Each structure stands twice: as C-alpha cells, then as structure tokens.
C-alpha cells in the first residue's frame, strides 16, 4: 500500500477485494486486528446489490423465457 501515492489510494479502495486482503495481511503479517469498518462497508454494499438484483429478477420473472 505504501507504493501507491496518497492521492490515488481512494481508487485502490474501490476494489472490494482490497479490504479483505488488507485485513488478512494485517492479521497474518502485522498481528493487528482487521479493518472492520472497510469490511462492514463492503458487506453492506454487497447485501444491497443482492437485494436489488433479486428484486429485478422477481420483477421480470414472468416476462423472460425460461430454459430447462
């Protein structure tokens, strides 16, 4: 993370895997606790996107053809 300039780190954190891998690295390499805030933020975003996706699927359930 130190390689990336400070003004571009926000782009780095847009990747959901970054929170997971940085927390994993903190626990294994540095014996620190994970970054729970970033993990929680991505969990909430993921649950919201799952909810939206399911709503869209159920809304158009009768209109698209089903292949068995």
Contacts of 23 by beta carbon, 8 Å cutoff, 6+ apart: 34, 35, 36, 38, 39
Each residue's pLDDT tens digit, 3-53: 889 998 899 888 989 999 999 999 999 999 999 999 999 999 999 999 999
Is residue 66 predicted with pLDDT exceeding 80? Answer: no
pTM: 0.72
Statement: residue 62 has pLDDT above 70:
yes
- In this prediction, residue 67 carries a pLDDT of 63
């Amino acid at each position: 993370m130190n390689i990336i300039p400070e003004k571009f780190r926000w782009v780095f954190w847009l990747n959901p895997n970054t929170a997971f891998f940085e927390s994993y690295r903190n626990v294994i390499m540095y014996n620190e606790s994970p970054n729970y805030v970033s993990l929680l933020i991505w969990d909430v975003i993921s649950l919201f996107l799952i909810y939206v996706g399911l709503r869209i699927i159920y809304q158009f359930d009768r209109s698209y053809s089903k292949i068995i």
